[in-house]
């Protein structure tokens, strides 16, 4: 059972910028107000709005890290905040040692309470509604979200962005932007994440090469796409359940229950879970997914173990399976992954290694590697939420610390490219085809941990566009989002 001390501790496992393939700052967040009840050194009382000075906010961040940071031995005993012009810059300086060790790759940061609550409750954000990825000096759309401007404009997976401008007269080729400014230039050219920001894009796809004018707007990200989020695939007479899980937010819970209820009604026991761009999110939703895959698990079976620093060990928790009415008992599960697969998605995968062994496979390329998660502490008057890395997770066999990804942990792996020439959920798409081959018992080439996977036979790896300098909450949680 969960300890009572954790009842109000909303925790998340998510990764942003560097999980997307490199560059820039990063991090992730999630949840509602979290001030764990076992705190022995309460942070400063929230100041009145007029007193939210930079120094006050930096002091609040220092107090949070000093009490909760998972790697306290890496923190400086003191650090003068005056040389740092933002709270984020100060946090980056405090966590520099752990970051250099690969244990906190910009996962500790400050964010907006209001924005985060809106995203995790409904997927609310603003933008064009696409995920972008680089391949060499080219820019591609790898996913487009429903009810967002890009899809309405005819931009979908596989579209290449050739040039970006504010008008047709000042379009600048993507290659020129990258050559002169790097990936940061692409984020700058796409404009701020504010409703009404308008850009002209020269695109190329099946409809030909043309210019489109597109404006950023408010929309909600559906964690399971209405187009391809849940499918039953007939693979040579074998029914296979397919779930494409974009992000772990609370609106996914009912979608997952409905999907698994349908799989259960059809007697489906072979599952493909597509985590290829899933940067993580709410641990509670990851646990629900585990339960829905756990019809044959006992309530004494361990799903995961959460461990805090020694001074906070009273918060350590063992989470056991809780099978649901919709749960299935999987025979084989194929997890489709890329280096944008992180955190909560890795938690689900790692948790099934002791139970499914060789019948749980990593398909695609190695995951990002984030076996740690964040809690949140709020300075409400300033709309400040500090997301601090405070815990690590492990499975029932004690497997943990997979900072280099899960390729060495999973008993079966199959290398496959992310084939953006085909829609997500298409059985002929290369990664999904490899997943179906695994379920059918066909052989494959294993993923080699540490080896860069080539995409579509090209010489350069496709990588999700890094976070912009000032990402919104959704961009931290949904790799490559603009």
What are the structural domains of the chain? 4-122 (no CATH), 126-220 (2.30.42.10), 230-370+392-461 (3.90.226.10)
Kindly report the average pLDDT of the chain as a whole number.
89
> Which single residue is written with the structure tokens 């280099």?
404
Residue 465, pLDDT score: 86
DSSP code of 303?
E
Helix (H, G, I), strand (E, B) or coil at 249: coil
Give me the sign of the Cα torsion angle 447, 341, 315, 250: negative
Please give the structure tokens belonging to residue 120. Answer: 């995790």
HSE of 66, CA atoms in CB hemisphere, 13 A: 15
Q: For residue 157, what are the CA distances in angstroms to 132, 145, 347, 420, 421?
A: 9, 10, 27, 6, 8
Largest CA distance in the chain: 67
> In terms of DSSP bridges, do strands 217-220 and 12-14 run parallel, antiparallel, or are they unpaired?
unpaired
More confident residue, 14 or 209: 209
DSSP states of 31-99:
-S----TT-SSPPPPPPPGGG--HHHHHHHHHHHHHHH-S-GGGS-S----TT-SSHHHHHHHHTHHHH
Cβ-based neighbours of 134, under 8 Å, separated by 6 or more:
21, 140, 178, 183, 462, 463, 464, 465
pLDDT tens digits along 246-296: 999 999 999 999 999 999 999 999 999 999 999 999 999 999 999 999 999
321, 290 Cβ separation under 8 angstroms:
yes
pLDDT tens digits along 376-435: 999 999 999 999 999 999 999 999 999 999 999 999 999 999 999 999 999 999 999 999
Q: pLDDT category, 12, cuts 50, 70, 90? A: low
The least confident of 178-187, 345-354, 366-375, 460-469 is: 460-469
More confident residue, 11 or 133: 133
More confident residue, 323 or 14: 323
353, 335 Cβ separation under 8 angstroms:
no
Residue 461, pLDDT score: 66
pLDDT tens digits along 309-342: 999 999 999 999 999 999 999 999 999 999 999 9
Element (H, E) at 270: strand 270-274
Q: pLDDT category, 449, cuts 50, 70, 90? A: confident
Q: pLDDT category, 143, cuts 50, 70, 90? A: very high
Residue 470, pLDDT score: 79
pLDDT tens digits along 67-113: 999 999 999 999 999 999 999 999 999 999 999 999 999 999 999 99
pLDDT tens digits along 101-118: 999 999 999 999 999 999
Whether residue 47 is predicted with pLDDT greater than 70 in this model: the reply is no
Helix (H, G, I), strand (E, B) or coil at 111: strand
> In terms of DSSP bridges, do strands 360-364 and 412-415 run parallel, antiparallel, or are they unpaired?
parallel
Our measurement of the distance from residue 221's CA atom to the centroid of its chain's CA atoms, rounded to an integer in Å, reads 13
Measured in residues, the chain has a length of 482
Among 392, 400, 408, 395, which residue's Cα sits nearest to residue 449? 408
Cβ-based neighbours of 4, under 8 Å, separated by 6 or more:
none
Q: Based on the number of CB atoms within 10 Å of its own CB, is 59 exposed (0-12), middle (13-18) or buried (19 or more)?
A: middle
Cβ-based neighbours of 183, under 8 Å, separated by 6 or more:
23, 24, 134, 465, 466
DSSP code of 203?
E
> In terms of DSSP bridges, do strands 217-220 and 124-127 run parallel, antiparallel, or are they unpaired?
antiparallel
170 C-beta neighbours (distance < 10 Å), count? 10
């Amino acid at each position: 059972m969960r300890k009572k001390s954790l009842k109000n501790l909303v925790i998340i496992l998510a990764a942003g910028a560097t999980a997307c393939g490199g560059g820039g700052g990063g991090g992730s967040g999630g949840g509602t107000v979290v001030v764990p009840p076992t705190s022995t050194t309460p942070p400063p009382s929230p100041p009145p709005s007029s007193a939210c000075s930079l120094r006050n906010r930096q002091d609040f961040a220092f107090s949070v890290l000093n009490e909760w940071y998972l790697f306290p031995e890496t923190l400086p005993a003191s650090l003068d905040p005056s040389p740092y012009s933002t709270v984020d810059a100060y946090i980056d300086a405090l966590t520099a040692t752990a970051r250099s060790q690969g244990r906190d790759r910009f996962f500790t940061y400050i964010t907006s309470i209001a924005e985060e609550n809106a995203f995790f409750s409904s997927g609310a954000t603003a933008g064009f509604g696409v995920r972008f990825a680089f391949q060499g000096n080219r820019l591609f759309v790898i996913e487009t979200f429903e009810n967002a401007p890009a899809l309405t404009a005819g931009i979908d997976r596989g579209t290449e962005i050739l040039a970006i401008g504010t008008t047709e007269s000042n379009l600048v080729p993507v290659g020129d932007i990258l050559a002169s400014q790097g990936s940061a230039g692409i984020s700058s050219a796409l404009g701020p994440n504010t409703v009404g920001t308008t850009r002209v894009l020269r695109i190329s796809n099946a409809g030909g090469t043309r210019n489109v004018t597109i404006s950023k707007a408010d929309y909600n990200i559906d964690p399971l796409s209405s187009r391809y989020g849940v499918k039953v695939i007939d693979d040579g007479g074998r029914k296979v359940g397919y779930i494409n899980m974009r992000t772990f937010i609370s609106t996914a819970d009912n979608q997952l229950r409905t999907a698994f209820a349908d799989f259960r009604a059809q007697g489906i026991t072979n599952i493909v879970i597509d985590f290829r761009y899933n940067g993580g999110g709410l641990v509670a939703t990851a646990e629900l997914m585990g339960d829905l895959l756990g019809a044959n698990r006992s309530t004494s079976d361990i799903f995961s173990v959460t461990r805090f620093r020694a001074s906070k060990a009273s918060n350590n928790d063992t989470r056991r399976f809780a099978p649901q009415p919709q749960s299935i008992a999987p025979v084989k599960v194929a997890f489709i992954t890329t280096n944008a697969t992180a955190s909560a998605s890795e938690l689900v995968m790692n948790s099934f290694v002791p139970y499914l062994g060789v019948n749980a496979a990593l398909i695609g390329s190695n995951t990002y590697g984030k076996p740690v998660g964040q809690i949140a502490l709020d300075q409400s008057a300033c709309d400040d939420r500090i997301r601090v890395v405070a815990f690590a997770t492990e499975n029932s066999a004690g497997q943990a610390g997979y900072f280099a990804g899960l390729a060495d942990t999973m008993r079966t792996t199959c290398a496959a490219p992310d084939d953006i020439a085909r829609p997500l959920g298409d059985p002929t798409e290369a990664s999904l085809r490899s997943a179906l081959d695994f379920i059918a018992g066909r052989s494959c080439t294993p993923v080699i941990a540490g080896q860069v996977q080539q995409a579509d036979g090209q010489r350069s790896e496709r990588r999700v566009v890094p976070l912009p300098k000032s990402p919104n909450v959704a961009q931290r949680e949904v790799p490559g989002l603009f």
